[in-house]
């Protein structure tokens, strides 16, 4: 391994989980003082002029995706996903050519992808320039949604999974031990593993909440969701003995609407925040969408989850609800717009402690395991003299 190996990490901002995974990987490598230069590469910016939807509408693909999430317009997302994949296939060659040119101008020892859909193009372009350099895809979902989502049946792709389901899917695609690494969960930022110096009761008091009242954190990703308002309204109407921490993300209109409303139950309302781990430490359970990042953050924080699964649930997130039921770490309902019965059941004596016990039996060390795995890849594939010269 060279004294300062270079790693490119490809991410995009369609949803918050892909950027979070990239940032987490870079952060743990720096925290561990790895002899690496980790470069985060924004895929959308790299391929902007090939964005067909932007040409037609003036809005980037990832921005359109985030608008759908924020507004809750996700019904029929399977069809939109397949249209996107067809478009990618049509632009396969120019996209691979564009990426290859970038790799030539920006050499590295290892390429990591934390995005779906484009891994065939990424792998082909990378191997055309550096045939002996490893390409690793870190799946940031609990399961793949084939075909052509995360795992491709090509030898160039090494896959990192975070669940038994994804591991089996990778094997079904022909990934052998040399092309597959099974981590113990989803990749999370290192701060989620840091010891909390404040007690949950102290954090609640600091947030202006009742120190002893059951507390739910309501979280729908980095871009929020208008369904948060509906959840608060119905819980308030039911007069449940509960208080809520509401994380609205970048949905500023939602945060303003909640602050202007007159609710009787205690609330702490925040927009986008870097303190999700601290806020989760103050809660007893999480209410939100079944995103892999939110669920993984809840698990590492000891929180059972209340999530929904229906025709509007993103197809790649539907297995997550099966996982919640299998592991007995939460409750799944048809719609969070009718969450009161499920919340009431969680507040029954003994229910939350039993679920919290199951949550604590999980041990996710993925971010550290993946850093070790990448180190192995670099050691087994030392940079060629030509690459070392180009990297200087």
Record the tokens describing residue 161, joined without a space.
């999974």
Mean pLDDT rounded to a whole number for the chain: 89
C-alpha span between 190 and 368 (Å, rounded): 9
Note the pLDDT of residue 73.
45
Note the pLDDT of residue 221.
82
Residue 392 has pLDDT above 50, yes or no: no
CA 104 to chain centre: 29
Residue at token pair 């016990």:
357
Q: What is the pTM of this model?
A: 0.89
Note the pLDDT of residue 354.
98
Residue 339 has pLDDT above 70, yes or no: yes
Residue 210 has pLDDT above 60, yes or no: yes
DSSP 330-387: EEEES-GGG-HHHHHHHTSTTHHHHHHHHHHT----HHHHHHHHHHHHHHHSPPPHHH
Record the tokens describing residue 42, joined without a space.
């924004």
Condensed to tens digits (0 to 9), the pLDDT of residues 60-106 reads 555 554 555 555 545 556 667 777 777 788 889 988 999 999 999 99
- Helices 92-105 and 119-129, interaxial angle, to 10°? 50
- pLDDT category at 246 given cuts 50, 70, 90 is very high
- pLDDT category at 386 given cuts 50, 70, 90 is very low
C-alpha span between 169 and 315 (Å, rounded): 16
Condensed to tens digits (0 to 9), the pLDDT of residues 30-66 reads 999 999 999 999 998 888 766 544 554 454 555 554 5
Condensed to tens digits (0 to 9), the pLDDT of residues 274-321 reads 999 999 999 999 999 999 999 999 999 999 999 999 888 888 899 999
């Amino acid at each position: 391994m060279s004294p300062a190996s270079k790693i490119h990490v490809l991410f995009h901002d369609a949803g918050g989980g892909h950027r979070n995974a990239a940032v987490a990987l870079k952060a743990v490598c720096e925290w561990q003082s790895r002899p690496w230069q980790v470069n985060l590469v924004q895929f959308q910016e790299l391929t902007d002029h090939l964005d067909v939807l932007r040409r037609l509408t003036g809005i980037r693909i990832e921005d359109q995706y985030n608008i759908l999430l924020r507004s809750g317009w996700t019904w029929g997302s399977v069809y939109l996903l397949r249209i996107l994949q067809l478009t990618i296939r049509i632009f396969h060659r120019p996209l691979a050519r564009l990426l290859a040119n970038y790799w030539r101008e920006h050499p590295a020892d290892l390429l990591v992808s934390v995005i779906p859909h484009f891994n065939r193009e990424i792998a082909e372009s990378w191997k055309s320039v550096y045939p002996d350099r490893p390409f690793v895809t870190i799946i940031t979902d609990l399961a793949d949604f084939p075909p052509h989502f995360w795992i491709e049946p090509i030898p160039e792709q090494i896959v990192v999974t975070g669940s038994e389901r994804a591991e089996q899917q990778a094997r079904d695609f022909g990934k052998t031990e040399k092309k597959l690494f099974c981590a113990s969960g989803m990749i999370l930022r290192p701060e989620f593993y840091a010891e909390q110096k404040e007690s949950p009761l102290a954090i609640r008091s600091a947030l202006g909440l009742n120190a002893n009242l059951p507390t739910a954190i309501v979280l729908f990703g980095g871009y929020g969701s208008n369904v948060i308002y509906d959840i608060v309204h119905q819980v308030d109407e039911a007069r449940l003995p509960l208080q809520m921490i509401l994380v609205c993300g970048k949905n500023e209109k939602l945060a303003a609407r909640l602050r202007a409303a007159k609710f009787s139950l205690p609330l702490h309302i925040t927009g986008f925040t870097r303190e999700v781990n601290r806020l989760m430490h103050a809660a007893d359970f999480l209410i939100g969408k079944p995103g892999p990042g939110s669920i993984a953050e809840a698990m590492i924080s000891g929180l059972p989850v209340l999530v929904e699964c229906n025709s509007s649930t993103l197809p790649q997130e539907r297995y997550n609800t099966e996982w919640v039921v299998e592991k007995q770490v939460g409750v799944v309902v048809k719609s969070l717009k009718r969450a009161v019965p499920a919340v009431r059941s969680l507040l029954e004596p003994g229910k939350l402690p039993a679920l919290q016990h199951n949550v604590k039996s999980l041990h996710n060390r993925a971010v550290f395991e993946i850093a070790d795995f990448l180190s192995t890849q670099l050691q087994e594939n030392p940079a060629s003299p030509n690459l070392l010269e180009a990297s200087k």
